[in-house]
Amino acid sequence: MKQSEISKLNLKDLEIRIIELKKKLFDLKMSSYVSELENPLQIRNTRRTIARLKTAKTKLSKDLIS
């Protein structure tokens, strides 16, 4: 997910995407323990996308408070 896509989301959409990606990250980690992943970089990319979404959520919530 690119930064331009993230900036278009509202607070509720950000929260939904974070929850979805956390579930995906959990599934990726569990499947990596059982067998080798086809693309091990998926875990890193998912973690980084979650971080971007959380940063955008914090920024958006601070803008709403101000």
Q: Which domains does the chain have, with CATH numbers?
A: 3-65 (1.10.287)
Q: In this predicted model, what pLDDT tens digit does every residue of 32-66 receive, in sequence order?
A: 999 999 999 999 999 999 999 999 999 999 988 87
pLDDT of 34 reads 94
28/60 Cα distance (integer angstroms): 29
Give me the pLDDT at residue 43, please.
97
pLDDT digits (tens, 9 = 90+) for 9-41: 999 999 999 999 999 999 999 999 999 999 999
- Would you list the DSSP string of 23-44? HHHHHHHHHHHHS--S-THHHH
Alpha carbon distance 20, 15 (integer Å): 9
* pTM (two decimals): 0.90
| pLDDT on residue 17 | 97
Can you tell me the distance from the alpha carbon of 46 to that of 14, in angstroms, rounded to the nearest whole number? Answer: 14
